[in-house]
Amino acid sequence: MAINFQDKCRELGISPSITRKKIYEFLDECKTHPTADEIYRKLVVSLPTLSKTTVYNVLSLFLEKGLVEIINTEATEKRYEISNHPHSHFHCKECHQLFDVPKISIMYNKDKMPGFQVSKEEIYLIGICPSCSKKI
């Protein structure tokens, strides 16, 4: 983990409980943009009393504090990621995995969008990932 979780919590005024730490660490290490259920299933092994409610509680706290973000997807379930590194997303049509790819810069003409104040840009690419390319 790049920045100490305890320090982040202190900054944000929340307590660094073991549950929160494990959820944060898992999100930080995990490359698969997990759903709440995936986080739960992974962590319940080492935290046997963990409940899904707690996962939801912690994720909603993290969202509020800006520690994590929800990724826009077509699906109804929500996927989460740590909001610390700028990047774009690539969705594979074959295996439906969601990959991180280097941040893509965009260019737009502000004159064509009068009055719209842009504070964030998200780029989502769709196609075939390297390993699926080989299979086809």
Greatest CA span in the chain, whole angstroms? 56
CB nearer to DNA: pick between 15 and 105: 15
CB nearer to its own copies: pick between 9 and 129: 129
CB nearer to its own copies: pick between 49 and 109: 109
- Residues 90 and 99: beta-carbon distance below 8 Å: yes
* Residue with tokens 């930080």, as numbered in its chain: 28
3-state secondary structure of 40: helix
- Residues 25 and 6: beta-carbon distance below 8 Å: no
Shortest reach from residue 67's CB to its own copies, in Å: 16
Q: Does 85 bind its own copies (CB under 8 A)?
A: no
Only segment of 17-25, 34-42, 44-52, 99-107 that touches its own copies (CB under 8 A)? 99-107
Q: Which does 54 bind (CB under 5 to 8 A by kind): its own copies, DNA, none?
A: DNA
- Residues 83 and 67: beta-carbon distance below 8 Å: yes
Letter for the amino acid at 25? Answer: E
Binding site for DNA (CB under 7 A): 14-15, 17-20, 35-37, 47, 49-54, 56-58, 60, 76-78
- The closest of 82, 84, 100, 77 to 25, measured between CA atoms, is 82
The enclosing H or E element of 47 equals: none
Q: Which does 53 bind (CB under 5 to 8 A by kind): DNA, its own copies, none?
A: DNA
Where does this chain bind its own copies (CB under 8 A)? 70-74, 76-78, 88, 90, 93, 99, 101-102, 104-109, 112-131, 133
